Amino acid sequence: MQRRTLLSLLSLLPFTAYAQKTPSSLRIGYQKSSTLLTVLKVRGQLEQDLAPLGVKVTWHEFSSGLPLLEALNVGGVDLSADVADTVPVFAQAAGARLTYFAQEAPSPSAQAIVVRADSPINSVADLKGKKIAVTKAAGSHYLLIAALEKAGLRFKDIEPAYLTPADGRAAFERGAVAAWVTWDPYLAGVQRQSPVRILADGRGIADYQRYYLASTAYAEAHPEVLPVVFEALRKAGKWIKQSPREAAELLAPAWGLDAATVELANSRRSYDVRPVLKDALGEQQRIADAFLGEGLLPRKLDATAVPLWRLR
């Protein structure tokens, strides 16, 4: 009887081990500009793809990248939608335990410095002494620093107004700031709805690579989940580029924008999802050094000293 009981227990071990390994949920943090995950969310694609693993997907929206990665670090979410290249640098400086999961190839024209169409400002050098709206730690923040440096200015030569995209646009349109630095789809929205000029975008200045991250604890504990998400992201990126109008019509209600604005925004994003390689983190180091040089990071970083998820 004891032997039969032991054999019965042993027969349950493989199933028990699998049940412990497979999570009951995947909590995804995302922003309004999280295009690929918004597509997957609207379509219910991840729910379908992860159902065979018994994984339930839950969605958690954030206003910007830094609060999202803070939630990821403290265990509030398991996976982060794409955030601008600057955001992981700040998270790393704060000691967050995050794993680089995937990367979108560069989209330098998907962020820009804009001024009103009738503004006397005609070059980045003309921004000296001006008040500029920018979201702190966003990719646009680095674009502003890099553009100023190229024009022979320092960040201290302008007056930053750290605002969310919604507040930044409001301040810009009422004339409270001289310029606004933002990214798509906010950039496309203001271009199509207000008389503006692009003063400079990221081409030749800032590559604007967006990163997907996972909590290191989740990446280590549940390696069977991440390949499913990676493949879904990769397919969604290809679909958007192959079917731009259909993708715009799908995203427009979720973003509260018209389809033409969404299509303009998507035309400037690569949506080419790929694994993160250490050799490709060179701009992350330049970003870290730039923020350190402006006194915006507390310490010097080795931006390549981060865990990287490997696609097997």
Note the pLDDT of residue 24.
Answer: 83
Note the pLDDT of residue 310.
Answer: 87
166 CB-near residues (< 8 Å, 6+ apart) = none
CATH topology for the 108-201 domain: D-Maltodextrin-Binding Protein; domain 2 (3.40.190)
For domain 20-106+209-293, give the CATH number. Answer: 3.40.190.10
Q: What is the pTM of this model?
A: 0.85
Q: Where in the chain is the domain with CATH 3.40.190.10?
A: 20-106+209-293, 108-201
Q: Environment class of residue 310 by beta-carbon count within 10 Å: exposed (0-12), middle (13-18) or buried (19+)?
A: exposed
Note the pLDDT of residue 32.
Answer: 80
Note the pLDDT of residue 54.
Answer: 95
Note the pLDDT of residue 23.
Answer: 59
- Spans of the chain, pLDDT less than 70: 1-23
Question: In which residue are the tokens 């679909």 written?
Answer: 239
